[in-house]
Amino acid sequence: MVLRHLLVSLLIISLSNIHAQDFQFHSTFPFGIQLVDSTGERIVFKLMFIDRDQDGDQDLFLTSLGLGESEELDLTELTYNIEYQENIGTAKEPEFGQIAPAFDTLYIPFGYFYPSCGDLNGDGIPDFIAMAEEEYISEIQHLLFYISSGDTFDIKRDFDFDLNPIVPLSRLLPSLADLDADGDLDIVLCGTVTSDLADTTQEFRVLYAKNIGDKSNPEFLGWFNNPYDIVQDTSGEFIQMADIDLDGDMDAIS
């Protein structure tokens, strides 16, 4: 009887992991992804995969930082860009083409800029959100929304969605994910939050805004602190959301 219970327990454990993914190292710059250039004046700090051309495979947006020409780091020369590599391979055998500017014109503020992409309005065209300083080293960040409208973007800000602006001196990184599994994209921010300007003590925190609209018309309710028991380590983490174990819900990756 004990042996039978043990075998049943082992079977349950093995079945519970049957959909888990096994990751193996492939290469340093796989599938033609272009993270560096010969000049050393450009650094890619975020990759965003999404099917831009709606052909069934994942294309690639790269967020890069231009360092300028000075031998010493000059903050006034830093420039942020979004670049693009089309997947010219297949969904299972990706191969990314030559890197190019993602857009002919795109408003990118002069200061800090960190984006995330997803389809917020259900038109099949990637939209973006970004934490950004709209004045050089202003310490004031806004959450910007780039909502696709044909070949251009309608740019909105946090207050356009009745979201409280981020307290100055905070440093937060955004991601779009269907955290509550209701079919639309929610907003997750992680990083350091300043309580108020009178007390500049910073706390590591995860902020969440629930999408109470739908796939075509996003509306947000927030901010909620450390949702679903997602808590940052005290050393600080960049948390991304993805369905790693293929069970149909979002997991937190740091």
- Give the tens place of pLDDT for each residue, 221-242: 989 987 777 777 666 566 666 6
Query: Best-predicted range by mean pLDDT among 66-80, 152-166, 183-197, 232-246?
Result: 152-166
Is 136 a domain residue?
yes
Residues 96 and 110 in one domain: no
Residues 130 and 208 in one domain: yes
Residues 82 and 155 in one domain: no
Is 238 a domain residue?
yes
Residues 125 and 249 in one domain: yes
Average pLDDT value for residue range 145-172? 89
Share of the chain above pLDDT 90, in %: 41
Range from 31-35, 118-122, 128-132, 197-201 carrying the lowest mean pLDDT = 197-201
Return the higher-pLDDT residue of 147 and 228. 147
Give the closest residue to 141 by CA, choosing from 117, 118, 163, 172: 172
Checking if the pLDDT of 164 tops 70, the result is yes
Euclidean distance between CA atoms 180 and 250, whole angstroms: 8
Phi, psi dihedral angles at 186 (to 5 degrees): -100, 175
Checking if the pLDDT of 91 tops 80, the result is yes
Give pLDDT, residue 85. Answer: 96
Is 16 a domain residue?
no
Is 120 a domain residue?
yes
First to last CA, the chain: 43
What pTM did the predictor assign? 0.81
User: DSSP assignment of 224-240, as one string?
Assistant: EESGGG----TT----E
DSSP letter at 9 equals H
Number of structural domains (the chain) is 2
Is 25 a domain residue?
no
Q: Which of 102, 118, 152 is the last residue of a domain?
A: 102
Q: Which of 102, 134, 149 is the last residue of a domain?
A: 102
Return the higher-pLDDT residue of 171 and 101. 101
Q: Which of 102, 130, 158 is the last residue of a domain?
A: 102
Residues 91 and 126 in one domain: no
State the Cα torsion 135-137-143-147 to the nearest 10°: 50
Is 27 a domain residue?
no
Residues 237 and 224 in one domain: yes
Euclidean distance between CA atoms 232 and 226, whole angstroms: 8
Give the closest residue to 204 by CA, choosing from 227, 237, 181, 182: 237
Euclidean distance between CA atoms 137 and 120, whole angstroms: 29
Residues 114 and 240 in one domain: yes
Residues 90 and 120 in one domain: no
Is 115 a domain residue?
yes
Share of the chain above pLDDT 70, in %: 74
Residues 127 and 224 in one domain: yes
Checking if the pLDDT of 247 tops 70, the result is no
> What does the block give as tokens for 235?
């050393």
Which residue range(s) make up the domain with 175? Answer: 105-253
Length of the chain: 254
Residues 115 and 235 in one domain: yes
Residues 93 and 115 in one domain: no
Residues 46 and 161 in one domain: no
pLDDT confidence of 138, banded at 50, 70, 90?
low
Euclidean distance between CA atoms 91 and 177, whole angstroms: 21
